[in-house]
Amino acid sequence: MQHLDHDRLVFLALGESVADTGEADHLDTCAHCRDEVETFRHVAGLGAATRTVRDLPDPPEHIWQGIVAEIRAVAEPPAQAETRTKAETRTKAGAGAETRTGKQTETRVEAGAGARVGVPARPGRVAVGGRRRWPRWAVTTGTAAAAAVLGVLGTLAVVETERSTPAPGRVVASGPLAAYGATPSQARGEARVFDDGRLHLHVTDLPAVPGYYEVWLINPNTGAMFSVGVLGDGPDVLLPLPPRADVRAYSVVDISAEQFDNEPAHSGDSLVRGTLTG
Amino acid sequence: MTAVRQAADPPDPPQDDDLVERFRAGDESALREAYDRYGRAVFHLATSVLANRSDAEDVTQATFVAAWLGRDTFDPARGSLLGWLLGIGRRKVVDRVRACARENRVVESVRQLPEPATAGPDPDTVVDRLVVADELARLPQEQRRMLELAFYEDLTHQQIAAATGVPLGTVKSHIRRGMASLKRRWEVDGAAPGPRPAGLPGAR
């Protein structure tokens, strides 16, 4: 069977030509040519729709920083990363006042271009997660307070690191936490479960609540849940999970707003949520 | 090596010059270049489909991390770097949508307020659009100009000839060739199952 010419297929698909009788007869009987016309028509539709994706905005720079941080974390042998962690948390604690200023971003961008990126492997994930999620106002306000916080965090990280030697916790599951329901969308964080059975949470911009924040693990298939502990005023908390807690089954991390009401069950008021994968 | 490259026909789908080779060889500057070229497309895919912006940012980040760590598995003979990145991004977007759906089921047991997981169009359509847009941008300038007039301004070929002063026959020839390139690229790199004649290499 003689198929229709390529240009006829294109022009028929674009509506530029109308099929003459012979062509119409052929199209009636030839699935191949019909498919070709249909495909060209579909592609032309996609072509017209490309108008909406011609000038796409750049993704926020912190995404690139996160990529570099994750790749560094994977590439580095744990021992080396651990050493760097100590050194850098100390440095940051010392020079904390400067690290939260606006220069931070530029420095990190340059670092991403090939120079060493100051992102340690283990607490680094936390630090980076926190940093890239900090809103601009948090970066520019209160450097003294930031320095103080960094000092504390730095000290904690070092103490933690030294205590948990020789084998630092390996992350066995992790996931981002995002605002849930009516919670303002800037509330977010990161959850990680270490192989020593501890759950680390880093959460920022939770809305203020009259009571307190409680951390839950929920089994998405059954709806069963248990409380892991409470989150204090700071952005980070490290909570021991019950022995043999199955984070594959109880994969949803939920932080709820609870009242001081002697009611041990979940209030139903979830602020942020995320799913652990690992 | 050089001889091989010179001898090769114009690549189809388009090679990203030496970017692909450097990427696969583990040259980190190639990762940054790939991100500069295609980060916008991956981010657009994520933000188009996912309602939650931080989810979209996470998916974008995870896509490039996964691509870098899995760079050995990228086979340029089977598609472009962009197509491959969008394929990874698409799977991650779909995973995230499913995870959200699971979480919503949980919530229904906690309180009856499910939250929409997806914002917009289905990921396959977004991928296809991005792939075709990329090919359109790679076409020879005249082909691209004629197609844009046809697509965006909805001009007939006659009108395009009149508007541009290009002879009608030349307009038709540009459009025919341009359409052939777009179709081929979509068949290789596109995501959506569509009418694809059997036996074509892009059919999946």
Domain limits, chain B? 2-121, 139-204
Q: What is the pLDDT of residue A96?
A: 38
Residue A151 to residue A169: CA distance in whole angstroms: 22
Q: Is B121 on the interface with A (CB under 8 A)?
A: no
Residue B4 has a pLDDT of 38
Quickly list H helices, A76-200.
78-94, 96-99, 103-112, 122-133, 136-140, 143-163
> Is there a cis peptide before residue B10, judged by omega within 30 degrees of 0?
no
**ipTM summary value:** 0.81
Task: State the amino acid at position B160 in one-letter form.
Answer: I
Average pLDDT of chain B to the nearest whole number: 83
Which phi and psi angles does A207 have, rounded to 5°?
-65, 150
- Please tell me the least confidently modeled range out of A18-27, A158-167, B80-89, B115-124: A158-167
- Residue B126 is predicted with a pLDDT of 94
Residue A270 lies in a domain: yes
Of A135 and B40, the structure prediction assigns the larger pLDDT to B40
Which residues of A, range 146-185, sit inside 8 Å of B by Cβ?
A: 176, 178-181, 185
Shortest distance, CA A152 to any CA of chain B (angstroms): 27
- Residues A148 and A207 placed together within one structural domain of the fold: no
* Burial zone of A223 (CB within 10 Å; 0-12 exposed, 13-18 middle, 19+ buried): middle
What would the mean pLDDT of A20-45 be, rounded to a whole number?
93
Q: Tell me what pLDDT residue A76 has.
A: 62
* pLDDT reported for residue A9: 93
Cis geometry, peptide bond prior to residue A59 (ω within 30 degrees of 0):
no
Most confident stretch, A76-80, A201-205, A257-261? A201-205
Question: Quick check: is A1 in a domain?
Answer: no
Confidence of residue B58 (pLDDT cuts 50, 70, 90): very high
Q: Are A220 and B53 in contact (CB < 8 Å)?
A: no
What pLDDT is recorded for position B62? Answer: 95
Please indicate whether, in this complex, the C-beta atoms of B102 and A252 are within 8 angstroms of each other. Answer: yes
Name the token pair of A242: 């019950």
Inter-chain residue contact A112 with B31, CB threshold 8 Å: no
Interface with chain A: mutation pick from B110, B149, B159, B175, highest number of A CBs within 10 Å: B110
Quickly state the pLDDT bin for B15 (edges 50, 70, 90). Answer: low
Q: Is pLDDT of B146 > 90?
A: yes
What's the pLDDT tens digit per position in B66-103? 999 999 999 988 899 999 999 999 999 999 888 877 77
pLDDT at A158 over 80: no
Q: Which of A42-51, A91-100, A197-206, B159-168 has the lowest mean pLDDT?
A: A91-100
**Contact check, Cβ <8 Å, A270/B151:** no
- The answer to whether residue A108 is domain-embedded is yes
Residue A78 confidence (pLDDT) above 90 = no
Predicted confidence at residue A1, as pLDDT, reads 65
Long-range CB pairs of A28-37, under 8 A, 24+ apart, other chains included: A29/A1, A30/A1, A30/A3, A30/A4, A32/A3, A32/B197, A33/A3, A33/A4, A33/A9, A35/B195, A35/B196, A35/B197, A36/A4, A36/A9, A36/B197, A37/A9, A37/A12, A37/A13
Q: In terms of domains, do A75 and A156 share one?
A: yes
Amino acid, single-letter form, for residue B116: P
Q: Find how far residue B105's CA is from the centre of its chain.
A: 32
Q: Does B159 touch chain A (CB under 8 A)?
A: no
Q: What's residue B182's pLDDT?
A: 97
pTM listed for this prediction? 0.55
Q: List the domain range (segments joined by +) for residue A206.
A: 171-275
Note the pLDDT of residue B16: 61
pLDDT, position B106: 66
Number of domains in chain A: 3
Same domain for A141 and A208, yes or no, is no
CB contact (8 A) between residue A46 and residue B60: no
A82 and A130 inside one domain: yes
Is A136 in the same domain as A107? yes
Is pLDDT at A154 greater than 60 in this prediction?
no
Report yes or no: A135 and A186 within 8 Å, Cβ to Cβ.
yes
The CATH fold assigned to B2-121 is Rna Polymerase Sigma Factor; Chain: A (1.10.1740)
Place of tokens 């659009």: B129
A214-224: average pLDDT: 85
> Are A66 and A35 within one domain?
no
| Same-domain check for residues A192 and A267 | yes
DSSP reduced 3-state for B80: coil
Instruction: Name the least confident of A48-52, A69-73, A96-100, A175-179.
Output: A96-100
The CATH code of domain B139-204 reads: 1.10.10
**What pLDDT sits at residue A117?**
38
Q: Does B143 touch chain A (CB under 8 A)?
A: no
- Compute CA distances B6 → B40, B83, B138, whole Å: 31, 24, 20
Tell me the average pLDDT across B32-52: 94
10 Å Cβ neighbour count for A34?
A: 17
Report pLDDT digits (tens) over A229-264.
888 878 888 888 887 788 888 899 999 998 888 777
**How many angstroms separate the CA atoms of B56 and B59, rounded?**
5
Whether pLDDT at A166 is above 50: no
CATH number at residue A242: 2.60.40
Same domain, A29 and A86: no
Specify the DSSP class assigned to residue B104: H
